[in-house]
Structure 1
Amino acid sequence: MLILYFSHSGNTRTLAEYIHSKIGGDMLELKTVSPYPSDYDAVVDQAQQEQRRNARPDISTGIPNLEAYDTVFIGYPNWWGTLPMPFFTLLERQPLGRKTIVPFCTHEGSRFGRSERDLQRLCPEARMLEGFEVRGSRVGQARADVDAWLRRLGFLAG
């Protein structure tokens, strides 16, 4: 398994690390060549502009041989209703074929938005499992919910 995530404020990273602590596998953070601004309003504006332009930001993360993984957890903050544009860059360059995809996202009220549909469009041959979403401000209190989700999917015994 691979846990592949993008995190700006750290909420998605915290969630990815917790999932990793429960199921193991490899973990990799997707990063861009040009870092996003640290200021919240500036990053929100940039994310919206990228979507409007249908941009594909350059990524700096070296992606391992994805053929080695059967299951890929994909974690991200919901930016303007979908996953951050760096995932579009990655998944168009390295399709996931018939792998199993498990999405998880952080948000501040928009839940998954259209991100699951966009993931399915980017990975049309993949099998998508039920995702997990949580408000970024509640990530620290979501452990029991994450455990229950992982159990429902068969990644945790019990």
Structure 2
Amino acid sequence: MNYREEQCLIAYFSHAGWNYASGEIVDLPIGNTERVANMIRVYTGGNLFHIRTEMVYPNEYRKVVEIAKQQKTNHERPKLKKMVECMEEYTVIFLGYPNWCGTMPMAMWTFLESYDLSGKIIKPFCTHEGSGWGHSLEDIHDLCPQARIERGLTLLGTTILDAEDDVRRWLKE
């Protein structure tokens, strides 16, 4: 597929600040998922949409983990700061997120439940530190049963700075 000929949206949730990487906590000025989203933008020409919640997540890693666990346990749907205008114009949605608590951040549920994605092509991409997709792909299928979910890309956060070839290969498949 030539993505430059399609209307592509690159919708992603990313957390900058203190993150877990290679067994230690490191400060990331740009979140790993955001870095991948920007790489996809270069190769597809798609429109970027950073999924942000009204509640600002703390910078401190352990506090973010606590909040993520609570939101998942309570099946919360955090309110989003902004919505995509004219979602109907997009044919392909690159959907990016970090693996939080074995799946997507709950903000992704809010995002996916906010639109009718029937007939859309969804290409997920996920950053993680060893947990891979978790059960996020199943969750996307459950949330978007009428969309066509294509093969995704999962990347270790610690390899993001060297992931451009992986991103390019994935887009060519």
Question: Which residue is equivalent to 1:32?
Answer: 53
Q: CA deviation at 1:49?
A: 0.6
Question: Which residue is equivalent to 2:21?
Answer: none
Counterpart amino acid of residue 13 in structure 2: F
Q: Which digits, 9 at most, give the CA deviation of each residue in 1:81-137, with x for residues without a partner? A: 111101111211213111000000100000111001100110000001100011111
Counterpart amino acid of residue 68 in structure 1: E
The reply on whether 1:45 has 2:52 as its aligned counterpart is: no
Question: Which 4+ runs in 1 deviate beyond 4 A?
Answer: none
Q: Which digits, 9 at most, give the CA deviation of each residue in 1:39-64, with x for residues without a partner? A: 00000110011000000101002311
Question: Which residue is equivalent to 1:130?
Answer: 151
The TM-score normalised by the length of structure 1 is 0.94
Question: Which residue is equivalent to 2:95?
Answer: 74
Contact 1:95 1:122 in 2 (8 A): no
Give the secondary structure class of the aligned counterpart of 1:74: strand
Give the secondary structure class of the aligned counterpart of 1:2: strand
The residue correspondences of 1:68-147 to structure 2 (distance < 5 A) are 68-147=89-168
- Give, in whole Å, the separation in 2 of the partners of 1:80 and 1:42: 13
Question: Which residue is equivalent to 1:7?
Answer: 14
Contact 1:11 1:106 in 2 (8 A): yes
- Give, in whole Å, the separation in 1 of the partners of 2:11 and 2:84: 10
Percent sequence identity is 42
The TM-score normalised by the length of structure 2 is 0.86
Q: How many residues align?
A: 152
Question: What CA RMSD, in Å, does the superposition of the two structures yield over aligned residues?
Answer: 0.8
Where does the alignment leave 5 or more consecutive residues of structure 1 unmatched?
Answer: 153-158
Contact 1:5 1:29 in 2 (8 A): yes
**Higher helix fraction: Structure 1 or Structure 2?**
1
Which stretch shifts more, 69-78 or 57-66? Answer: 57-66
